Chain A
Amino acid sequence: MTTAPAATRPAGNPTQLRITRSTSASRITSGVLLAVGVGLFAVPTLFGTNAVVQLTSLFIYMILAVMWNALAGYGGMVSVGQQAFIGFGAYATIWLTQHGVSPFPAMVLAAVSAAVLAALVALLVLQLKGGQLAVGTWVIAEALGLLIVLDTGLGGGTGISLQGLNSYTPELRHAYIYWLTLTFLLAILGALFLLLRLKTGAALQAIRDDEEAAASLGVRVRPLKFGIFVLAGFGCGAAGALILANTLFIQPQSIFGVQYSAYMIFMVLVGGLGTFEGPILGAIIFFVAQQQFADQGAWYLIGLGAVAVLFALFLPRGLWTVVSDRLPVQLPLGYRLSTSHPSMKEQHG
Chain B
Amino acid sequence: MTAGASMVAGTGALRDGEPGGTERSVLAARRLSVRYGDVKVLDDIDFHVAAGEAVGIVGPNGAGKTTLLSALAGTVRPAAGSISLLGTDLTQLGAERRCRLGVARAYQVPKPFGGMTVLENVLVGAAHGGQLRRRERFERAVEVVEVCGLADLANRRAETLGLLHRKRLELARALATGPSVLLLDEIGAGLTDSEADELVATILQLRQRGMSLVWIEHIVRVLVRVIDRLVAMDAGKIIADGAPDAVLRNETVMAAYLGKTRS
Contact = CB atoms under 8 A, between A and B. Distances in A.
Given A19-B141, A218-B99, A199 B120 contact: no
B105 interface: yes
B11 interface: no
Contacts of A210: 111-113
Nearest to A317: B115
B111 A205 contact: no
A277 interface: no
A69 to B, nearest CB: 13
Contact of B116 (A10, A19, A202, A219): A202
B75 interface: yes
A205 B116 contact: yes
Nearest to B121: A206
A282 B139 CA distance: 38
Ordered nearest first, which 10 A-B pairs have the shortest CB separation?
A: A218-B129, A337-B154, A213-B111, A209-B113, A218-B99, A218-B128, A199-B127, A10-B139, A215-B95, A217-B125
Interface of A: 8-10, 13, 15, 17-19, 199, 202-203, 205-206, 208-210, 212-221, 274, 317, 334-337, 348
B218 to A, nearest CB: 22
8 contacts: A19-B138, A212-B111, A215-B95, A216-B107, A217-B128, A218-B100, A218-B125, A337-B145
Contacts of A206: 113, 116, 121, 124
Given A10-B143, A215-B96, 19 more contacts: A10-B142, A15-B151, A19-B142, A199-B128, A202-B116, A205-B116, A205-B120, A206-B116, A209-B112, A212-B75, A212-B95, A214-B113, A216-B73, A216-B107, A217-B177, A218-B131, A336-B119, A336-B155, A337-B145
A216 B116 contact: no
What interface size band does chain B fall in?
Answer: 35 or more
B72 to A, nearest CB: 11
Contacts of A13: 142-143, 146
Given A15-B151, A206-B124, A216 B142 contact: no
A335 B176 CA distance: 16
Candidate in A202, A208, A317, A336 with the most chain B CB atoms within 10 angstroms: A202
B13 to A, nearest CB: 28
A205 B115 contact: yes
B210 interface: no
Contact of A274 (B115, B129, B131): B115
B151 A216 contact: no
Contacts of A203: 124, 127-128
Contacts of B141: 19
Contacts of B176: 217
B117 interface: yes
A127 B25 CA distance: 36
B96 A334 contact: no
A53 B105 CA distance: 54
A180 to B, nearest CB: 34
B233 interface: no
B87 interface: no
B190 interface: no
B128 A209 contact: no
B123 interface: yes
B173 interface: yes
Contacts of A220: 96, 128
B116 A209 contact: yes
Nearest to B132: A199
Candidate in A9, A10, A199, A217 with the most chain B CB atoms within 10 angstroms: A217
Interface in B67-117: 73, 75, 94-96, 99-100, 104-105, 107, 111-117
B138 to A, nearest CB: 4
Nearest to A19: B138
Nearest to A20: B138
Contact of B120 (A9, A15, A202): A202
A213 B73 contact: no
B177 A213 contact: no
A202 B123 contact: yes
Given A335-B117, A336-B155, A17 B96 contact: no
A210 B113 CA distance: 6
Contacts of A218: 96, 99-100, 125, 128-131, 177
B262 interface: no
Contacts of B114: 209
Contacts of A9: 139, 142
